[in-house]
Amino acid sequence: MRDRLTIGTRKSALALWQSGFVKDALVAAFPGLRVELLHIVTTGDKTQASNAPMPEIGGKGLFTAELEEALNRGEIDLAVHSLKDLPTVLGPEFVIGAIPARGSAADVLISRSGATLDGLRPGAVIGTSSLRRAAQILNLRPDLKTLNIRGNVDTRLRKLRADGGEFDAILLAQAGIERLGLEREITQVLTDQQMLPAPGQGALAVECRARDAELLSMLRRLHDEPTESEVLAERAFLRELNAGCNTPVAARAVRGAAGSLVFHGRCLTPDGSSLLEVRGEDLAAKAEQLGVRMAQEALARGFRRLCAAG
Task: Compute the distance between CA of residue 5 and CA of residue 75 in angstroms, rounded to an integer.
Answer: 10
* Residues 168/196, Cβ–Cβ less than 8 Å: no
Spacing of C-alpha 94 from chain mean position: 19
Q: Which of 77, 85, 107, 168 is catalytic?
A: 85
* Pairing of the two strands 125-127 and 169-173: parallel
Cα–Cα distances (Å) from 217 to 30, 208, 211, in that order, read 12, 11, 11
Nearest-5° Cα angle at 248, 245 to 254: 100
Task: Compute the distance between CA of residue 187 and CA of residue 300 in angstroms, rounded to an integer.
Answer: 38
Torsion angle of C-alpha atoms 60, 273, 309, 294, degrees rounded to 10 = 60
Q: Is 3 a catalytic residue?
A: no
Task: Compute the distance between CA of residue 287 and CA of residue 253 in angstroms, rounded to an integer.
Answer: 9
Instruction: Say which amino acid occupies 208.
Output: C
Collapsing DSSP to helix, strand or coil, 37 comes out as strand
* Residues 182/175, Cβ–Cβ less than 8 Å: no
Task: Compute the distance between CA of residue 110 and CA of residue 128 in angstroms, rounded to an integer.
Answer: 11
Task: Compute the distance between CA of residue 233 and CA of residue 254 in angstroms, rounded to an integer.
Answer: 10
Residues with a known catalytic role? 85
